[in-house]
Structure 1
Amino acid sequence: MTVDDARTGVPRSLRVAAAVGWRALVVVAALYVIGQVLATLASVVVPVAIALLLAALLTPAVRWLVEHRVPRGVATTVVMVGGLALLTGVLTFVVMAFVNGVPDLALQLTAGVDALVTWLRDGPLHISNQQLTDAQQEVLAVIGENQGSLTTGAITTAATIGETLAEMLLVVFTLIFFLLGGPQIWQFLLLGVPSDVRSRVDVAGRRSLAALVSYTRATAAVAVVDAVAIGIGLGVLGVPLAVPLAALVFLGAFVPIIGALVGGGAAVLVALVANGPVSALIVLAIIIAVMQLEGHVLQPLLLGRAVRLHPLAVVLAVATGLVVAGIAGALFAVPLLAVLNSAIRSLRSPSDEYVDPAEVRSSEPEESGPPEPGHDRHPDTSGDTSPPGVSGDTSPPGVEVPAQAVPR
């Protein structure tokens, strides 16, 4: 029996399934290897990814200063110093508010525990004082038995703090070079792309990073609105630790869905312990109203069509990131999805094949679709002598390309 006879004896559907199957296995194996490499280098990959997000947030300020004839090095220094000063001031304010509010919260928590014990003793359960005392002694015994583990955990926490500080320094160091030498970094990365598709990859990279800029800025704006609105509600209701809880809501806004649940749940829990069920229900209503405002007004208005993602895609991305890489995976899942979505759309669009990168710098991210009739995809840039990366509002951080990579 020849090979052709054997091939004709196998149903076509089975041959197609086998071909797709082994290719899928190769892709899964490649993704697994990449995942293992990234997990091994997590101490480097995560700080670089955070620096990239911060660069997307701070690049507009650097670009504005450069457009006003401020040297790029000076502009980077001003933005970095100003950002660090602002971050330090906010963190100091939040920590001081937390420290000042903890004693009152502790007193209210003690009163709440006493009320719970009274209800357990005098309520429908009728638990005796001896049973409550035995439960307290069991808790103390468990703590005593696990004192060694707790001490080891404290030492591990100290080591983790040291690693965190080192990673923070790496974030700052990387961010400086992203803001200062981003154009050169992008040019260097483009050298690894074949010359016949370099312009197309350049456009896809510009559009994907422009989507990242839009996503980061919009998410920061939404986080500020959420934190201010919920913080004002907590302050009006007299809930302790209103400022730290508002800061937690701000940080949680960068992790879609899970962050809102954690920040909102903490606010409701503190309101329940401190002020009772009525205050907790009011806080819950405020959080739901703010989330509705965010989902139906702020995000569609600020993000636009370019980085608008289906809610199911967002949920699945966050869940997958959380399972694969924990909190870091949940944080970077949606930005990565937005970048991939924009890059794939650009690579698949025939209209982006010969687009001038200067046009991408000066266009909004949502204009990545086919051009309008009569729109010139081949503008004359021979007389443009302005430095690359300066014009426009949505160009990604450090996305520039040598002139020879631009098709004529």
Structure 2
Amino acid sequence: MQEGGEPQGIEVASKRPLFGASADELRAWIAEQGHKPYRAKQIQQWAFHRRAKTFADMTDVPLDLRKKLDAEWTLFATELAYRGIADDGTDKLLLRCRDGRNIECVSMSDPPRRTVCISTQVGCGMGCVFCASGLKGVERNLTSAEIFDQVLQAQSLLPPGESITHVVVMGMGESLANLDNLLVALDRFCSPEDGLGMSQRRVTISTVGLPAKIRKLAGMDRQYHLAVSLHAPTEALRDELVPVNEKVGLAAVMAAADEYFQITGRQVTYEYVLLGGVNDRREHATALGKLLKGRKAHVNLIPYNTVAGLPFQRPEPDDVRRFVETVRRFGVAVTVRRTKGREIDAACGQLRRRLEAPSEPVAIGSRP
């Protein structure tokens, strides 16, 4: 199923996204309007749990306050420009920012889990040669409101009774390159008072491996899970597949990941996209096993999801099985990620902020 339509225009640029303000700022603004600060909690309940589309929907909020909210604020920081729903329940949203740039996020259903994969940048500057997100480079970091809004948008589209249970920061962009804005958004989202109250342990931050930023995150007293996008077990091969490695170095990435585990006690996941005939041979599996042997680590193998215009191929199932068996011989835990949303280009590595031609035009921002 696909939904979309011609843009109807982002709301007046002078309006401030509601969740671009801190909870304290919102309460202070409400008090300035002559209302009790507890009204902020009512508004948050409407946004998160009662799926309000507009401030007018918030019927137990005083009418004059709703009018003032509508005059000065927007409920969403982005606008829904396209929605694609796969047969497996994966829901891809293309969101239009207030400056007209596009980003994508993906909501995945695996009952009782409901996970949303969010982006942190418009595009990506890391240059991984097999990934669609960086084909046009990076344009800018997302604001904390734009990061937060992806969860809000995904939550608002869920069926009654369902809620977002997990967040993975694995969409467009290098997460740690926008760490400050990301943490503002995630901390607000995990707040029991001013967000959904999700446990930090249900949030995973993925990075291609920026050692200084990994150490910074480790020292910030959070319990977010760290996933390192490894993709190659040797310096030479990683230089080819992940160009930023030439400046960073695999050894430095591994040392920073080790430090993250030592400080936080959180096991590090190593993501490894299997490219047919490129990094999926027995010698690669052996090198990966040796690299991770003795570390408290988990490998998440991701069979490549093809991207139009790129030369890489998905590995053969037998090659995947042999790779898993070889790595496990070194005592390393391995799982193979189940592909979801590939038919709508919503699988890992396929997000590219492209507005598809919809087969069933609907009004932008419409909610089923």
Global fold match (TM > 0.5): no
The TM-score normalised by the length of structure 1 is 0.25
Which has the larger helix fraction?
1
Computing the radius of gyration from Cα coordinates, the structure with the larger value is 1
Which has the larger strand fraction?
2
The TM-score normalised by the length of structure 2 is 0.27
